[in-house]
Structure 1
Amino acid sequence: MGVRVIDQRGAKVDPRMKRILRRLVKAVLEWEGVSSYQVNLALVGMDQIQELNRSFRGIDAPTDVLSFPLQGGSRVVGDVVICVPQAIAQAREFGHSLAREMAYLAVHGTLHLLGYDHERTEERAAMRAREELFLARFGLTR
């Protein structure tokens, strides 16, 4: 049971950021009633996320976060992939900190592992409410 944060870019993310992300993902899983889990949170660059997006979604463009739920029986198992350069750009665009943006993407991806979706309006509203609730619990409001 656990959460691993893996920086696959060659550049290093601040160890404090990695600790925050690990703690946040664990907390989200526990708040959602999940007691058994193995989640890998991969931090990647633009080329890596674009290749994954092309391979798995048929979209030849970078994106901010992708989630890959895996078969784990009664456990929640999966990978969440965050594009750090995209997170940096979005933090600037939205006028908040990189920590807040990275945390948002980690929560968003984790909720996808749990089956949350945002394709329909009512699903989007429910998912957004959960995201904001969890970020607020960590003091990461807008």
Structure 2
Amino acid sequence: MSAVIDLIDETEMMLPEHATLLKDLLHHAFLYENIPEGAELSVTIMDNDSIQAVNREYRGIDKSTDVISFALNENEEIIQIEQEMPDLLGDIIISLDKAQEQAEEYGHSLKRELGFLAVHGFLHLLGYTHEQEDAEKEMFERQESILKDYGLER
């Protein structure tokens, strides 16, 4: 049994190759981070208006953003479950609109930006943060290391 990644494209605009990339990259990140088999997460692709509504409702911030993560195991260690029940890590929400905007702004591909946002959200599910300078440095180094190991560099 391996990791389960549920991908939902609410925009119906994402290319199949981008869906494949996200699943493959996140499977790679699961292995890279030694996440126990059977762990599960969901990735939902939204537009700017939809992610803004989520951001407003759950975070009290009334603007669109690129990625939001909702960890289900917050402040808990990931453990191997003896039963057949998966370890639910949480949900990652990505704005396809914002990813396209940022890819253009940063001068790299949409694949790179979607991969960056997916790994960023994944690391948040594992408890990584960027609220303090040293934690931010650790998170971004880890993020770049996963992307480089997968072969998705700038």
* Class of the TM-score when normalised by the shorter of the 2 chains: over 0.9
In the alignment, what sits opposite 1:19? 20
* 1:26 Cα deviation from its structure 2 partner: 1.5
Corresponding position: 1:55 with 2:57: yes
Aligned mates of 2:127, 2:89 — CA distance in 1: 12
Correspondence list, 1:30-49, <5 A = 30-35=31-36, 36-49=38-51
Aligned AA (2:49): D
Cα distance per residue 1:2-56 (max 9 Å; x no partner): 01111011x3311111111011112112211111311111000011100111111
Residues in 1 aligned to 2:95 and 2:57: alpha-carbon distance in whole angstroms: 16
Aligned to 2:131: 119
% identity of equivalent residues: 38
Kept in 2, the 8 Å contact 1:76–1:114? The answer is no
Larger Rg: 2
Q: What is the DSSP-based 3-state SS (H/G/I as helix, E as strand, rest coil) of the residue aligned with 1:89?
A: helix
SS at structure 1 position matched to 2:24: helix
Amino acid at match of 1:26: H
RMSD: 1.5
Q: Give the AA of the match of 2:58.
A: F
Task: Give the Cα separation in 2 of the matches to 1:37 and 1:24.
Answer: 15
Q: How many residues align?
A: 141
Task: Output the amino acid matched with 2:135.
Answer: E
- CA distances 1:67-89 after superposition (whole Å, capped 9, x unpaired): 01125973242110000000000
SS of structure 2 residue aligned to 1:34: coil
The TM-score normalised by the length of structure 2 is: 0.87
Q: Distance in 2 between matches of 1:131 and 1:31?
A: 11
Partner of 1:104: 116
Note the C-alpha offset of 1:123: 0.4
**Aligned mate of 1:82, from 94, 109, 119:** 94
SS at match of 1:135: helix
Instruction: Choose 12-21 or 68-77, whichever is displaced more.
Output: 68-77
TM-score between the two structures when normalised by the length of structure 1: 0.94
4+ residue segments displaced more than 4 Å: none
Question: How far 1:126 sits from its partner (Å)?
Answer: 0.4
1:28 corresponds to which letter in structure 2?
A: A
Residue in 1 aligned with 2:82? none
